[in-house]
Amino acid sequence: MKPPIRTIFIGTPAFSVPALEALLSDHDFNVVAVISQPDRPIGRKQEVTPTPVKQSALLAGVPVLQPEKIREIIPQISELKPEIIIVVAYAQIIPEELLRLPKFGCINIHASLLPKYRGASVLQAPILNGDKESGVTIMKMDKTLDTGPIINQAKINLEPDETPSTLAKKLSDLGASILTTTLKKFISGEFKAVPQNNSFSSYVKMLTKDDGRIDWNDSAENIERKVRAMMPWPGAWTTWDGQTLKITAVNKEIRRIEQYRPGEAFSDHGKLAIQCGIDALVVERLQLEGKSVMGSEEFLRGNAKILHQILT
Question: Given this model, what pLDDT does residue 282 score?
Answer: 98
Could you tell me if 151 and 265 lie in one domain?
A: no
**Residue at which a domain ends, from 204, 220, 238:** 204
**Cα 112 to Cα 52, 126, 152, 259, distances in angstroms:** 22, 9, 12, 40
Cβ-Cβ contacts under 8 Å for 3 (sequence gap 6 or more) = 30
Could you tell me if 38 and 127 lie in one domain?
A: yes
Could you tell me if 12 and 99 lie in one domain?
A: yes
Q: What 3-state DSSP class applies to 211?
A: helix
DSSP character for 93? Answer: P
Q: Which residues of the chain have pLDDT under 50?
A: none
DSSP character for 267? Answer: E
Could you tell me if 268 and 164 lie in one domain?
A: no
**Residue at which a domain ends, from 204, 236, 270:** 204
Query: Does 82 fall in a domain?
Result: yes
Cα distance between residue 117 and residue 16, in whole Å: 19
Could you tell me if 108 and 134 lie in one domain?
A: yes
Could you tell me if 221 and 135 lie in one domain?
A: no
Query: Does 11 fall in a domain?
Result: yes
- What total number of domains does the chain contain? 2
Average model confidence (pLDDT) for the chain? 97
Domain that holds residue 38: 5-204
Question: Given this model, what pLDDT does residue 62 score?
Answer: 98
Cα distance between residue 122 and residue 300, in whole Å: 35
Q: What 3-state DSSP class applies to 293?
A: coil
**Residue at which a domain ends, from 157, 177, 204:** 204
Question: Given this model, what pLDDT does residue 1 score?
Answer: 60
pTM higher than the cut 0.75: yes
Specify the pairing of strand 5-11 against strand 29-35.
parallel
Question: Given this model, what pLDDT does residue 258 score?
Answer: 87
Could you tell me if 234 and 113 lie in one domain?
A: no
